Each structure stands twice: as C-alpha cells, then as structure tokens.
Structure 1
Amino acid sequence: MAVRWLDLVDPTREQLVDALEVHVASEVLEMLLAAPVERPRQHLEGHGEYVFGVLVAMSPVPEEDRIESREVGFVATTERLLTVRKTPPVGEAWAPECLEVAGDVSVGELVFRLVDDVADSFLDVVDAADAEIDELEDHIDDWPSARVRRRISSLRHDLIHARRTVGATRAKVRRIMDKRLDIANEELFPEKVERLFADTYETLFRAGEELDMARDLLASSRDYHQSLIAENQNEVVKKLTVIASALLLPTLIVGFYGQNFLHSFNDFYWSIGVSVGLIVASTIAQLAVFRWRHWI
C-alpha cells in the first residue's frame, strides 16, 4: 500500500524535490524552502493537480512570556500528503501527532486533521493569554511600572498577531467549505471531508471571539494602569504643593522681618524668639488646615 503521508523537517532542495510526486510551481518550491521567520504568513491555494498550503500553529511559552509560531507547509494530492515542518528561530518545530495517529484515512482527511490541529493550537493561546492577563491584574499594583508596560505591550502584540492568524486561517477553511478550493477533479475534499471542516471553522470562530475578549481585558488593564500612574502623579504634585505652601509663610516672615526691623529689635528674644515663634505658629496652622481639608 502506498504511503499516504510523508513528513520532512527543514529539508534541502534535493530532499524536497525527491519527495514531491508532482511538479510544483517554482514559487511554491521557494516558499517551502524559505527560512523560517518569527511571524510567517499563511497560504492555501489550489494548483490543478495539487493543493499547496502554509499553516501557522501557535504555541505559548509561559516561562518566557511569549507565543511561538510554528510553520508547517504541505502539498496534497489525491495519493499523498507531504508536510514540510520548519524549526522556528527560537523553539521547536510543529509536532505531527495528529497525523501519526490518523491511521488509514484519505489524504483529504489528513489535511483536515492537520488544519484542525492548527486551529486547536489557537485555543491554547487563548488559555495562556487569559492566564497572563490574570497574573498581570494580580500584580499590577506592586510590579514596577516599566515591567507592567513591557508586559502589556508584549501581550498586545502577541494577541494582535494571533488574531490575524486566526482570521487568515478561518478564511482559508471557508474556501474549502464553499467548494472553492480543491484539485481539478474535486476528489481531494469530498463532501464528507468538507463537513469535517465545518467543525474546524467553528473552532476558529470561537478562538477569534475569545482573542477579541482577551484584547478587551488587556485594554482594561492598560487603562487601569494608566489611571494608577495619573493618581500617583497627582499625589506627588499634592505633596510638593503642601511643601511649597508650608515654606511660603516662613520665607515671607523672614524676609519681611529682616528688611523692616534690622535695627529696631536688637535684643535676642526679638531677633530670634519672635521670628521663630511666628514661623512655627504659621507652619502648624497651615498643616492643621491642610489636614482638616484632607490634603495631607
């Protein structure tokens, strides 16, 4: 029995050409051989004898506070599915357990299992993002402001990338469901397989909705953090105003006393005692008023 699935990891040009059953376009070959990037783009196209695709599975890495994109390309004919897995710049290549346990199924169902596994990876991203946002909300009052800003910025970019990837994947799956993507004889995705893709579409729709919700929660955390910064700045300004006000009257007393009574009061108690008494009395009175008005 012919092998229905062949897997390659970071192949050379010679290995890829030898593994292909059909002649593929040069741009398809170049995309399959292209070096992995941090945030790859997705493709799914029909080319007469074969269907070519590049999918992006996402895997959260909680210990490093990041989301890893794992690119997997494929070429599918009626007889064989060839997958080309690429090892990302940091991390591991996509794991094909879903295809290893598939058993003796058609190539179309193998493609479904591949796409469905990629769709499920976005739900893992949603769970990880919710956990990260919960942690951020728990520590937003005690973490340094710079750390909170970095974490919010990193999460925001990861969520935007994940949402765009989910939207692109959902659009590709929709093309299969609408019978707009197949090989020339329409045997790769029969009606039975197309119905399976409906479940994947629902998974992608759910992932997109929950990612939008996570972005809203993150935006709320960002607004709360900004309000904390504004509140802290107001407290600093209030304290500086109290200090300036407390020093204003003593400065006025010393200046007025020194300019107008330089030779009038030569006794010690007049020059030191009275001025110090006025300064202390005026300062205590100001502090009492500030305390009464709840300014300090």
Structure 2
Amino acid sequence: MTRIIAFKDRKCEIIDDPGKIPELLKSSAAVLWVDLEGGGENEIGVLRTIFQFHALAIEDCMHDSFHPKLDNFGDYIFLETQAIEKCAQSPEISAAEVSIFLGTNYLVSFHNKPVKSLESVWDKCLNPPWQIMEKGPDFLLYTVLDRIVDDYLCALEGLDDKIEEVEEEIFKELKEDQMGRILGLKKELLYMRRIIGPQRDILNFLSREPVPAINKKSQIYYRDVYDHLFRIYELLETYRDLVSGSLEIYLSTASNRMAAASNKMNEVIKTLTIVATVMMPLTVIVGLYGMNFKYMPELEWKYGYFFALGIMAFVAIITLWFIKKKHWL
C-alpha cells in the first residue's frame, strides 16, 4: 500500500497516483511524505524507480534486521528504527521495523505491517494547522522519532506494573509460575535494551553532527528526543535491576522454604532414629526369652516376668541417658 501526503501552498493534500511524485520532487516549495506498507513489487518499485535509492538501502528495507542503523548517502540519509507494536495492555512486547529515507524535501517511510506510531503522526499531518509538514521533512522525521520513543515509555510503564505485581505476589505467597513470569520480564527488558541502545547513538549523531538533510535549527529537536531516549534507557536499566532483585528474592525464598522442609524432615528422622535405638535392645531381650528352649530358669521363676520388665526398663533408661549425654537429643 502506498500513501502520499503533499504539502504545498500552505495546505496538505493526499496524492493517489505515485506517478506524480517526480513532479512534486522538482518543486522546492513542496514537502512530500510517502508511506509504503507491505513490501510488495509496487512499493519496492517506488523506491527503486521513482526515488532511485541505493540498492543496499532497498535490500535493508526488504529484510528486517531489528538492528537500528544510519547511513549517509549524500543527498539523503537512510535509517532503520524499531517502533513498539504492542503497548502496556498487551501481554508481550514486540517491535515493527521502520525504514526511513530523508531528503531535502521528502520523507519516505517503509514498513511491512501497520505501525501505530506512524498512524498517529499521519493523522496529525492531515489535520490543520499543518505545522508538522510546514516545518519541513526534517521536522517530520523528528515528530515520527519522538512518537516512537513515547511508545517505548508506554511499554516500560506496562512492564513496571507487571514487576510490581510479581514482587507483591512473591512476598505474599510463593508460586511455581512466578519464576517463568520473572524470566519473561527479564527477556522483554533485554529485547527493549537491544533496540533502544543503538538508537541512542543514532539520535546523538543526528542531534550533534552536520547532516545535509537536517537543518541546524532542527537539530535541537533531535537533541530533545535523544535526552528523552537516554532517560528511558536509564529507566530500563533500573527495571532490569528490579527484575534481577525479584529473581534473587524468589530463589532465596524458595531456598529457605526447602531448607525449612529439610530441617523438619531431619527432626522427624532424628525422632524415629531415637525410638528405633531405644527399642532395639528391648527387641533383643524379648527375642531371647521367646526362644523355645526347654530349660530356661527364668520361665519357671515366680518373678521372672517382672524381672524381664525390669531389665528392659533399665536398658531403655541407660540408652536414653547415653543419647542425652552425647547431645543427640
């Protein structure tokens, strides 16, 4: 799908025919935004035939790398960035790659699927007053990048709620699924870190180094986006520490519970061992008098039964005294 907004004579209009692009590009007073979605032959043809961009840049558009980059081709710059596709209400965070060409009087955006950030800026450009398009394509690029960075913060706020929820649950009650949720949060933060980290360098370059397609007066806006992104990156590192702390708390709590269960089991085994130790000599005595020999004097003795009980009681007391002396009980 190809969409075109042209700003000329202090008003914006939608152009339906891509064939009018070369004529609009010749006018220095016109500002053009061409948005290409889908990556089909028609969209690639616009890049290759009408704008005649470098083959390597077009190849990068066709293959998602999910690694931010910036190339300067002299008359135009090419950059790849990632926009957050899902925000706080979504179960997981995913990103959509957006490829952007910026020239003196045009901006071309290329993406394989709908991007919420671009849709928001597109709607703003169509509504008067047309301040975004009036200030030029470099200001339009700033607006797009600023919106993308705002969505990063939105995604982080969603993760913040999830981190707090997991921490509260850990302190209340330990559950088996909490480990998986913590590792999932850690994975999402690492995913965002891999996206945001390189973009800091790109925005720092755009805000400080001379770029032909960007007016020096507009660089201060890029510096503002860079500062915003830098704060988001620091916030991301803070959340990573919180998740690591939650993981340590979970493992420590689980370890303490296992140790408590092990100690309880040891106490049970200790009690059973003492009982078995006391009963063992008594079993020997009972077994001795239970033998079927004909001549056993104690069997005919009037006090033989009480004598056997006394021996068993004496042995049990001696055994308990010995265990106590050795501090086994």
Query: What band does the TM-score fall into relative to the shorter chain?
Result: 0.7 to 0.9
Q: TM-score, normalised by structure 2?
A: 0.73
CA-CA distance at 1:32 after TM superposition: 0.8
Task: Decide whether aligned partners of structure 1 residues 74 and 28 sit closer, same or farther in structure 2, where only a CA change above 3 A counts.
Answer: same
CA-CA distance at 1:53 after TM superposition: 1.1
Paired residues of 1:176 and 1:197 also in contact (CA < 8 A)? yes
Which residue of the partner structure matches residue 284 of structure 2? 259
Query: Structure 1 regions of 5+ residues with no counterpart?
Result: none
Find the partner of 2:101 among 75, 98, 116. 75
Residues 63-102 of structure 1: matches in 2 within 5 Å?
A: 65-87=91-113, 93-96=115-118, 97-102=120-125
Task: Decide whether aligned partners of structure 1 residues 220 and 60 sit closer, same or farther in structure 2, where only a CA change above 3 A counts.
Answer: farther
Residues 1-296 of structure 1: matches in 2 within 5 Å?
A: 1=8, 2=24, 4-19=32-47, 21-34=50-63, 36=64, 40-62=66-88, 65-87=91-113, 93-96=115-118, 97-102=120-125, 103=130, 104-105=133-134, 106-140=136-170, 141-145=172-176, 147-180=177-210, 182=211, 186=212, 188-264=213-289
> How many angstroms apart in 1 are the aligned matches of 2:153 and 2:39?
29
> How many angstroms apart in 1 are the aligned matches of 2:307 and 2:74?
107
Q: Which moved more, 1:198-207 or 1:61-70?
A: 61-70
Task: Decide whether aligned partners of structure 1 residues 223 and 172 sit closer, same or farther in structure 2, where only a CA change above 3 A counts.
Answer: same
> How many angstroms apart in 2 are the aligned matches of 1:78 and 1:190?
9
Secondary structure of residue in 1 paired with 2:94? strand
CA-CA distance at 1:22 after TM superposition: 2.8
Structure ID, larger Rg: 2
Secondary structure of residue in 2 paired with 1:4? strand
- Between the two proteins, the alignment pairs up a number of residues equal to 272
> How many angstroms apart in 2 are the aligned matches of 1:174 and 1:124?
22
CA-CA distance at 1:270 after TM superposition: 6.1
CA-CA distance at 1:268 after TM superposition: 10
Q: Which moved more, 1:94-103 or 1:258-267?
A: 258-267
> How many angstroms apart in 1 are the aligned matches of 2:175 and 2:308?
52
Query: Over residues 98-150 of structure 1, what are the superposed CA-to-partner deviations in whole Å (9 max), with x where a residue is unaligned?
Result: 243133331111111111112112211221121111011111243523x1111
> How many angstroms apart in 1 are the aligned matches of 2:307 and 2:166?
61
> How many angstroms apart in 2 are the aligned matches of 1:56 and 1:109?
19
CA-CA distance at 1:86 after TM superposition: 2.2
Paired residues of 1:51 and 1:76 also in contact (CA < 8 A)? yes
Query: Over residues 2-28 of structure 1, what are the superposed CA-to-partner deviations in whole Å (9 max), with x where a residue is unaligned?
Result: 461111111213322225643222221
Paired residues of 2:101 and 2:108 also in contact (CA < 8 A)? yes
Query: Structure 2 regions of 5+ residues with no counterpart?
Result: 1-7, 9-23, 25-30, 291-298, 300-304
CA-CA distance at 1:197 after TM superposition: 0.7
Paired residues of 2:117 and 2:151 also in contact (CA < 8 A)? no
In structure 1, give the amino acid aligned to 2:56.
E
Task: Decide whether aligned partners of structure 1 residues 135 and 270 sit closer, same or farther in structure 2, where only a CA change above 3 A counts.
Answer: farther
Secondary structure of residue in 1 paired with 2:105? coil
Paired residues of 2:87 and 2:154 also in contact (CA < 8 A)? no
Paired residues of 1:86 and 1:94 also in contact (CA < 8 A)? no
